Amino acid sequence: MVLQKEMLARQFRELSMAKETGKKVVYTFVPGNLSELIHAFGMLPVYPEINALQSGMRKKSGGFIRDAEKAGHSEDVCTYVKCDVGMLLNGNIGPTGDKLPAPDLLLLSYTGCFTFMKWFETLDRLYPGVPVAMLHTPYQENGRITREMTDYMVEQLKTEVIPKMEKVSGVKYDETRLAEILEHSAKAEDLITKIFNTTKNKPSPIDGYFAGVYYIGPINAGFRGTPDAVEYYQALYDEIMDRVEKGLGPITPEGVMEEEKFRLVVEGPPNWTSFRNFWKLFYDMGAVVVASSYTKVGGVYDYGFRHDPARPLESLAHYCMNCYTNLNLPQRIDLLAKYITDFQADGFLVNSIKSCNSFSAGQLLMMRQLEERLGVPVGFIESDLVDPRYFSYSNIKNRLDSFFQMLSQRKAIRGEMEAMPA
Amino acid sequence: MKKYYLGIDLGSTTSKAVIIDEKDRIIGRGITNTRSNYEVAAELAKQAAIFNARFHLLQQRLSGIMESRPEYRRYLDDLKDAFQFLQFRERMQQLGKQFRETLPAVASDTQQLQQMEPLLDKIIGEILAETKSDYLEHSLGGESQFFRDIVAERYNARVADLPKQYFEPLMLLFDKSINPVENEILQFDFRELVDEAMGMINDRYAFLADRPEGDRSLNFDAELNLLMGNYRKVSDSLSEHIDKVAKEAFHIANMVGTGYGRALLPFPEDCIKSEILCHAFGAHAVFPNTRTVLDIGGQDTKAIQVDQYGLVTSFHMNDRCAAGCGRYLGYIADELSISLNELGPLALEARKEVNICSTCTVFAGAELRELLNVGEKREDILAGLHRAIVMRAMSLLARSGGVRNEFTFTGGVARNQAVLRYVSDLVRKNYGQDLTINVHTDSIFMGALGGAMFARRSAEGLTTEQLEKNTASEVH
């Protein structure tokens, strides 16, 4: 935790001094982010979604959203977008209190979320004259990546993204440099995969959702490809393995969870404005999330994908196409089914966010299919990313109470059945 | 000693209590309107359920006689109504006291105060007299049976007839007085109350028997005619049974609270259960083949899928909007100045359905006025409104995974015949004509029943085998 805080503080400090140090700044998104490429050109990344969620956790998003709505954004627009726009309108002061530098390049890595395009059209208007590089990631419509899809992406990298990066940074593209960075990426990816697999233990040593969102911070927020990230994930892994050896449960804001009563798989992003209260509704009930799709938003490493220094651009393309929200619905269902089975979950829960299309479309289908395929009890709650108006504590509590009671009832029955002689 | 189990469902509009015996049979049910003090609402529902259980036992004891002698059944029905009236009267007297205490705070000056006192006494006297005959002649019928509603309707009507200067202070007086009176728990002794009720109905039979020769208005009522001749005999032979029933101790071995106000119930934590589980369990107990439950209550609608044991596998509830729930109907009834119970029958008279676009309760009110304005008929608009509600429930059912056979419809709104018709039509149209659709006259009590059943199970720690056997058994 300390290490992570230091890393992030350093990152934001570096960003705030970018103008003085002459470092160029790239605004880009987490899903399908090209952090390694940005680093290869010595530039600094800024992730608007991460700023938005940080503003949400720091109780600033409500005001930002109001300002964005005043500026004409509708109530139904993605609240990350509105929070980001509101932050810009209020002087672009980042989560740590430092002013964020204006972008030198807008790198739109388009992975399945149509809002991303509209978001960058807005940024394009707010930062007139800043070059925009668009990387279109083909959706895995048929559930696989074809040669043509890879070629198409590599071609875009070569003809659109890299030339623009060269121009903005004044640095020539160096594939050897990129390959070195990708080596670090692969190491961090190995480690984070091992970390998220530790929840197979009983009790699970960590919460793979509420704590998981902290763990994905470094890898998603620009540290992928750095030795820092490898060091961080190694330290984290060691710490968690120590907990496993001691048989300890996950750490919550109120201490170690004494008894693991329910193991859940959760689909969908969390609510950030009432994050602590939201989490409390789970740990108070002894519920631990053993796997979540949201922690795979910045990359799915479960099936063995790693950035590959031997094929730098190709592996960047594969990385983008493998992001969770770029998978088709049957693929997402397969992944969730794998989690439910491998991690021995007692229940599956969806946190649906209406303003987030890329996650919420298809969630009911997922529920139905998982229920049918695995006979797993399913639950559904609704909240929002960073709009505090759409987090109803009592509604969510009411649904979760029923959900947990449903799970314990089923567990009791199953326990009796197993206890009965064959 | 016999063991009984209590389930209390504290809903947003009504609070329900159900008492079951060791075989899951319902022996008592009670209902009251939910009020600001949940503890009182729960207590009153429980009190009503215990009284109801005593009458139920009395009826059981008399079942032999009642079959062959219809006057016994009639006597018992009349007795129950008189019994209800006496409880009403007691609370009405409390309200009268509260009026007098509150009066100085609402009267503009001493003079007005002095003028208002006799007016109030008159109003109270008239309400009592009117309500007494309504109870004794069973003419409350479709109206709400809750103290607040019965009084408010009659009080408002009388205040409206008074000179204007009294309107505001008297309405304010009512608003200030009704809550403390409603939130008071009144203790009644069953035996005493029954004795008084018997005296009251006996007097009435005596009076009717002595009516002038020419008055033939009651001649069509065969049971009453039989009673007038021998009410003394009937009442004497009941006494012994009433003694027994009044002495029966209702030992509540365990209880479970549910409903949206459950967290506020004065129950230990392990006696609080989610209403989703309770409604499903109750509905499944009554109709053991149930696989999908639709419950439309005061402010939420639930679509619940259950397995063969009545255990919930998934559920969906309305989240941000209560359009399509009971409160929506209440609001529409207010807009049309008719009672909630009249809505359904009126909608069934429609010749066509006016299309209602609004998904918001408040906007639907505006749309209703607009449609009346352009000449649409009340019943046709109501038909459209009922359909709109059901369409929302259909969407929730779809979200929860659709409808599987058998389908059971529960909750207060299931008593509305128009809603029931649209639910049946649309469920069959969308999920198959062969579907079995279950609705029970006690549909509003399903949550409380499920709660009581959970109470019994958790008290006894049953195994799956027993659970399976029990859930398959019939509840009477």
CATH number of the domain to which A69 belongs? 3.40.50.11890
Nearest residue to A301 (alpha-carbon basis) of A367, A220, A226: A220
Q: Which of A406-410, B15-19, B156-160, B376-380 has the lowest mean pLDDT?
A: A406-410
Per-residue pLDDT band at B225 (split at 50, 70, 90): confident
What residue spans of A28-174 are helical by DSSP H?
35-40, 48-57, 61-70, 79-89, 114-126, 147-156, 162-169
Looking at residue B468, its pLDDT comes to 46
Mean pLDDT of B230-245: 84
Measure the CA–CA gap between B114 and B24, rounded to whole angstroms. 57
Domain ranges of chain B: 288-439
The pLDDT tens digits for A206-247 are: 999 999 999 999 999 889 999 999 999 999 999 999 999 999
Strand partners, B10: B15
Partner-chain contact A402 B319, CB within 8 Å: no
Looking at residue B85, its pLDDT comes to 94
Judge whether A65 lies within some domain: yes
Judge whether A109 lies within some domain: yes
* B220 membership: H or E segment, kind and range: none
List Cα–Cα distances, B184 to A297, A327, B44, B370, in angstroms.
56, 60, 9, 42
Over 60: is that where the pLDDT of B331 sits?
yes
Measure the CA–CA gap between A282 and A404, rounded to whole angstroms. 9
Domain carrying residue A80: 8-171
Q: Which residues of A touch B463 (CB under 8 A)?
A: 416
Mutation site for A-interface testing, chosen from B273, B291, B312 by largest number of A Cβ within 10 Å: B312
Query: What tokens appear for A275 in the block?
Result: 């994050």
Q: Which of A42-46, A353-357, B413-417 has the lowest mean pLDDT?
A: A353-357
What amino acid occupies position B31? I
- Give A364's contacts (C-beta < 8 A, 6+ positions apart): A380, B399
Looking at residue B290, its pLDDT comes to 96
The DSSP annotation for B9-76 comes to EE-SSEEEEEEE-TTS-EEEEEEEE--S-HHHHHHHHHHHHHHHHHHHHHHHHTHHHHHH-HHHHHHH
- A37: contact with B, CB 8 A cutoff: no
Say if residues B392 and B385 touch (Cβ distance below 8 Å).
Answer: no
Number of domains in chain A: 1
Judge whether A245 lies within some domain: no
Give residues 339 to 378 of A whose Cβ lies within 8 Å of B: 364, 367-368, 371, 377-378
Judge whether A21 lies within some domain: yes
Strand partners, B272: B257
Whole-angstrom Cα Rg for chain A: 21
Query: What tokens appear for B370 in the block?
Result: 């607009």
Count the Cβ atoms, other than its own, within 10 Å of residue B270.
8
Looking at residue B461, its pLDDT comes to 63
Measure the CA–CA gap between B236 and A366, rounded to whole angstroms. 68
The DSSP annotation for B379-391 comes to HHHHHHHHHHHHH
Measure the CA–CA gap between A287 and B459, rounded to whole angstroms. 26
The pLDDT tens digits for A323-364 are: 999 999 999 999 999 999 999 999 999 999 988 888 888 999
The pLDDT tens digits for B160-214 are: 999 999 999 999 999 999 999 999 999 999 999 999 999 998 888 888 777 766 5
Looking at residue B471, its pLDDT comes to 37
Over 90: is that where the pLDDT of B458 sits?
no
Per-residue pLDDT band at B467 (split at 50, 70, 90): very low
Measure the CA–CA gap between A25 and A9, rounded to whole angstroms. 17
- State how beta strands A132-136 and A105-110 pair: parallel
Looking at residue A414, its pLDDT comes to 66
Tell me the nearest-neighbour CA distance from A138 into chain B, angstroms.
30
The pLDDT tens digits for A126-137 are: 999 999 999 999
CB-nearest to A378 from B273, B314, B319 is B314
Looking at residue A314, its pLDDT comes to 97
Over 90: is that where the pLDDT of B224 sits?
no
The pLDDT tens digits for A360-385 are: 889 999 999 999 999 999 999 999 99
Per-residue pLDDT band at B344 (split at 50, 70, 90): very high
Q: What is the pTM of this model?
A: 0.86
Q: Which of A160-174, A192-206, B310-324 has the lowest mean pLDDT?
A: B310-324
List b or e across B11-23, with b for residues whose CB sees 16 or more CB atoms inside 10 angstroms: bbbbbbbbbbbee
The pLDDT tens digits for B135-167 are: 988 877 656 678 998 999 899 999 999 999 999
* B246 membership: H or E segment, kind and range: helix B222-247
What amino acid occupies position B439? V
Partner-chain contact B464 A378, CB within 8 Å: no
Top-confidence range, A56-60, A96-100, B140-144, B338-342: A56-60
The pLDDT tens digits for B44-78 are: 999 999 999 999 999 888 888 877 888 888 888 89
Strand partners, B30: B17
CB-nearest to B311 from A399, A401, A409 is A409
Say if residues B380 and B350 touch (Cβ distance below 8 Å).
Answer: yes
Measure the CA–CA gap between B51 and B87, rounded to whole angstroms. 11
Count the Cβ atoms, other than its own, within 10 Å of residue A61.
29
Looking at residue B220, its pLDDT comes to 62
Per-residue pLDDT band at B466 (split at 50, 70, 90): very low
What amino acid occupies position A350? V
Mean pLDDT of B365-372: 88
pLDDT over 90 percentage in chain A = 80
- Give A207's contacts (C-beta < 8 A, 6+ positions apart): A250, A252, A279, A282, A283, A288, A289
Say if residues A30 and A241 touch (Cβ distance below 8 Å).
Answer: no
Mean pLDDT of A177-186: 97
Partner-chain contact B314 A371, CB within 8 Å: yes
Measure the CA–CA gap between A166 and A38, rounded to whole angstroms. 10
Nearest residue to B93 (alpha-carbon basis) of B188, B208, B201, B25: B188
- The dihedral through the CA atoms of B159, B165, B168, B170 has a sign that is negative
Measure the CA–CA gap between A230 and A236, rounded to whole angstroms. 10
Mutation site for B-interface testing, chosen from A374, A383, A387, A398 by largest number of B Cβ within 10 Å: A398
Partner-chain contact B314 A379, CB within 8 Å: yes
Looking at residue B472, its pLDDT comes to 40
Looking at residue B323, its pLDDT comes to 72
Q: What is the mean pLDDT of chain B?
A: 86
Looking at residue A412, its pLDDT comes to 78
Q: Which residues of A touch B10 (CB under 8 A)?
A: none
Packing angle, helices B361-373 and B326-336, rounded to 10:
30
Judge whether A184 lies within some domain: no
Partner-chain contact B320 A382, CB within 8 Å: yes
Looking at residue A420, its pLDDT comes to 63
Domain B288-439 has CATH 3.30.420.40: yes
